A and B are shown apart, each in its own frame.
Chain A
Amino acid sequence: MISVNGLKKKFKLTKDHKKGITEAQQDPREEKDYFHSVRDVHFHCEQGEVLGLLGPNGAGKTTTLRMLSTALKPDEGSIEVGGVDLVKKPLAGRKAIGFLSGSTGLYGRLTAKENVEYFAKLHGMKGAELKQRCDELFTLLDMHSFLDKRADNLSTGMKQKTNIARAVVHRPKVVILDEPTTGLDIMTTQTVINFIKGLKEQGTPVVFSTHHLDEVALLCDRVTVIDQGLTCFDGTLAAFKEQGHSEELNQAFMNILEGHRHV
């Protein structure tokens, strides 16, 4: 369903970026004026599977997911979603993808309802179809009480629900989430987790990055670990525990990273 192979992305370094890099830290990703954020990333995820994308800060998770969501164009490599080549046909791919990140915002001066409807319209929905789909989501996410409030005045939990509705309003075939629970309280985190569970039940594949391994334990069928722009593990949750020599996920994660860096 989702298949990523040999993905590469480099950024031109600006002066600002260069300043941040000290000489002592020799990073294998630096090369003259370029910074190779993603050097070789691959993973795949089938119908009904949830894939957890793990990796330390700056590993290249966001960059990878941005390429997957067609916001960034990869330098090399292929991305296929449901048989569509996203590198060649980004526009077609966008219809198939729902995307949400921890830093995604809403239009503050539009109401929750208007926010969702705007994106529905941008996806080409209209009339009865639009109304029906929106109502369905508003009921599913229990949003009716705050639909007509402006997004600026919503609580974080309400905002996140609106964001979720916005991300899936066009019935995407796959859903991509970049740290969807970062900075959320327990209640709101639960909303997100339930949402991912719901998608899984419907058979929609989900790729999400996270730093919380308990979420991985709860939701994921597959795990991919990225370090310094390279995939250093890609397999089932069971294989992850096995290769990491631990039933405890945090420990397994550390072991895998350690093993990778020593090679």
Chain B
Amino acid sequence: MFEVFLKEIKELLRDRKTLMFIVALPLLIFPVIFAVVGYMMAMANLEAEQEVHKVYIIGAEAAPEFTESVRYHKNFELVTANYANKNDIIQAIQNEELDVGIVIEAKAQPSTREQTTWQVIYNDSARINYLFRYIEELKEQYQSKVQTLSFNALGVTKESEMEFLISPIKLEKVDTADARESWGEKIGVLLPYLLIPIVLTGAVYPAIDLGAGEKERGTLETLLLTPISRTNIVLGKFLTVLSASLATASLSILSMGLWLFVARTFVNVSEFTVALSHITFVELLAMLSLLIPLAAMFSSIVLSISIYARTFKEAQNYMGPLSMLVFIPVMISVMPNMELTYKTAFIPVTNVALAIKELLKGTSEIGILAVIVGSSILLAVGLLAFCVRWFNQEKVLFR
């Protein structure tokens, strides 16, 4: 068994294509993802900030100060036109002559003390849009002037009194979720999407080579004729695939840590990196020990498939759907109300995804983690037993 394992590893290390998947993918995927996402966000923000929106105001004479503030705002351009009502504006927006229209119903004045409604008409489906926020800001400024005037007319002049009248009670939020927990929740949704498929990918390519590849090259038959039992042969192959998958998983986690560290030295210390730097070594180890049985499960499955296939191509055809399938349990884990409990700890794959999130948030429980590791190991052993029996069947080996 060991002889088979050593030789498979040696051959694997000489295969550039497979190495690419095992080493390069996990090392490069994180910086690439970080960079691409960061870049796109920055670009979109910049664009949104620089965008100048065309505005038309109906009833501008009712709020001249407000109108002036719109005119001088860097993101607005007042258009000269003659739209009579709301419908004209909607039409104009659809024709792209206008980005936003404001309909001012009546003058807000201290003498009448009647609330008025202003309608802001625009298309809200655009990607990142600060339009409404800008208008709201300008309205607030204008509104507070009207408020001050109104209070003055009533004889209220002290700032604190005005504040009381506007809002006698102020709610103050004290969040018990520390930065880490809220970031953990966010990253925890993302990370399993990366890690779990990576663990699978790390197993797929070596498995194809070791199973179907051996059939296609015509080396399987000779291997079967050596005094090594078929069980030992398949165990040797399983260990190889598992090692590759684990190498990929550990490299991914390592690379994630490394790039976070790099990012921290370049970017100003953001909440995000500070939060994640609280992750302890023990928790990283826990993450890895969750991934080990998972890798074993994947290894048995892909090796069984690969042994069954007659050629590389056939094996690849089977693996395609599998790499789609693996997303399903991960997606289940991010469904609303999905939480790690002693029940959900028994759902394979999903439980690992949930546990990774808990570990990132720093709210994991050792008991549940043990259940996950235990149930995953049991399943992995079952799948391995199947794989071994599978490899001992003539109808699988000689098709």
Contacts and interface: CB of A to CB of B under 8 A. Distances in A.
Contact of B221 (A11, A101, A121): A101
5 contacts: A66-B221, A71-B225, A73-B394, A107-B7, A109-B14
B9 to A, nearest CB: 11
A200 to B, nearest CB: 22
Interface string A68-112: 011111000000000000000001001101011101111111100
Nearest to A108: B217
B219 A106 contact: yes
A106 B223 CA distance: 10
A118 B221 contact: no
A123 interface: yes
B10 A71 contact: no
B15 interface: yes
A127 B229 CA distance: 22
B227 A66 contact: no
A119 B11 contact: no
Contacts of B15: 109
A94 B219 contact: no
- Interface residue range, chain A: 20 to 34
A108 B12 CA distance: 11
A166 B3 contact: no
B221 A70 contact: no
- Interface residue range, chain B: 20 to 34
Nearest to B216: A105
Given A66-B398, A73-B394, A122-B3, A99 B225 contact: yes
B226 interface: yes
Listed residue (B3, B4, B7, B15) with the most chain A CB atoms within 10 angstroms of its CB = B7
Given A72-B394, A110-B11, A118-B7, A105 B226 contact: no
Interface string B215-259: 001110111111111000000000000000000000000000000
B226 A123 contact: yes
A100 B218 CA distance: 10
B249 to A, nearest CB: 24
B387 to A, nearest CB: 20
A262 to B, nearest CB: 33
Contacts of A20: none
B37 to A, nearest CB: 37
A105 B11 contact: no
Interface of B is mostly: helix
A94 B225 contact: yes
A104 B222 contact: yes
Given A71-B221, A105-B219, A122 B10 contact: no
Contacts of B7: 107, 110, 114, 118
B218 A105 contact: yes
A12 interface: yes
A120 to B, nearest CB: 10
A99 B226 contact: no
B343 interface: no
Contacts of A73: 394
A69 B225 contact: yes
A155 to B, nearest CB: 17
A124 B225 contact: no
Given A91-B227, A110-B7, A104 B218 contact: yes
A101 B220 CA distance: 12
Interface in B385-399: 394-395, 397-399
Nearest to B18: A109
A107 B394 contact: no
A167 B218 CA distance: 13
Contact of B227 (A69, A72, A95, A118): A95
Contacts of B226: 94, 119, 122-123
B224 A71 contact: yes
A97 B218 contact: no
Contacts of A121: 3
A110 B3 contact: no
B217 A123 contact: no
Given A72-B394, A94-B227, A104-B221, 5 more contacts: A72-B398, A104-B222, A107-B11, A122-B228, A124-B227
A143 to B, nearest CB: 18
A166 B217 CA distance: 15
B218 A103 contact: yes
Interface in B184-233: 217-219, 221-229
Contacts of B11: 107, 109-110
